[in-house]
């Protein structure tokens, strides 16, 4: 191997090493420039909820901004999620009990695109009549910084988070009922 080819190999190795270093450094720099992990935190009670809108199964858009002034219980769910399926009849009972007092229950399905018939079938089979939105792109999970499904958010009339429940909601639990009563009483 001559001196010229050794220099070419060294140059190739250096270029390769720089590419590897840049491919690792650029995403980290971009993450830091956008606020990074230091600015990320789950929504906390008292935070203003993010602007979120999605279409219902009829194709009409429902926006949280337009629901300002109403108490909203927002549930993120999917038909493939067993705890989600289990809690839906209980959410329907909560909607039936508290709806006349001003609680608007909204489910946001994150089922994939094309699952509308499966969603409708599930709702029909279980007698679910509250508003269901379909968000196959899962914008709701990013906007609300959800840990997974199911996840439920109680939003007060001013658009602030009043409570957050991760996992299957137990609507009959004293803490749930107390917080719903509290939000409804503020109106």
Q: Residue 134 — very low, low, confident or very high, per pLDDT cuts 50/70/90?
A: very high
Which superfamily does 53-185 belong to? Glutaredoxin (3.40.30.10)
Q: Which of 162, 174, 169 is nearest to 89 (CA)?
A: 169
Res 119: pLDDT:
98
Res 12: pLDDT:
55
89-127: per-residue pLDDT in tens? 999 999 999 999 999 999 999 999 999 999 999 999 999
For the cut 50, the answer to whether the pLDDT of residue 28 exceeds it is no
For the cut 90, the answer to whether the pLDDT of residue 11 exceeds it is no
Give the residue extent of every domain in the chain.
Answer: 3-39, 53-185
Compute the distance between CA of residue 43 and CA of residue 25 in angstroms, rounded to an integer: 29
User: Interior CA angle at 42 toward 40 and 102, to 5°?
Assistant: 140
Mean pLDDT of 119-147: 97
Q: If you write DSSP's letter for every residue of 16-49 in order, what string do you get?
A: HHHHHHHHHHHHHHHHHHTTHHHH-----TTSBP
Compute the distance between CA of residue 39 and CA of residue 136 in angstroms, rounded to an integer: 27
């Amino acid at each position: 191997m001559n001196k010229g080819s050794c220099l070419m190999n060294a140059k190739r190795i250096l270029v390769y090493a720089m590419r590897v270093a840049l491919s690792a450094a650029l995403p980290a720099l971009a993450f830091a420039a956008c606020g990074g992990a230091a600015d990320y935190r789950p929504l906390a009670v008292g935070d203003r909820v993010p602007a979120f809108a999605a279409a219902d199964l009829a194709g009409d858009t429902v926006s949280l901004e337009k629901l300002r002034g109403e108490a909203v219980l927002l549930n993120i769910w999917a038909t493939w999620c067993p705890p989600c399926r289990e809690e839906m009849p209980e959410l329907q009972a909560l909607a039936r009990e508290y709806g006349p007092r001003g609680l608007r229950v909204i489910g946001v399905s994150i089922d994939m695109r094309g699952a509308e018939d499966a969603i409708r079938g599930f709702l029909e089979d279980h007698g679910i009549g509250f508003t269901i939105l379909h968000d196959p792109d899962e914008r709701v999970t990013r906007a609300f910084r959800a840990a997974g499904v199911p996840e439920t958010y109680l939003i007060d009339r001013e658009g602030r988070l009043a409570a957050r429940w991760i996992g299957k909601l137990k609507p009959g639990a004293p803490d749930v009922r107390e917080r719903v009563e509290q939000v409804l009483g503020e109106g």
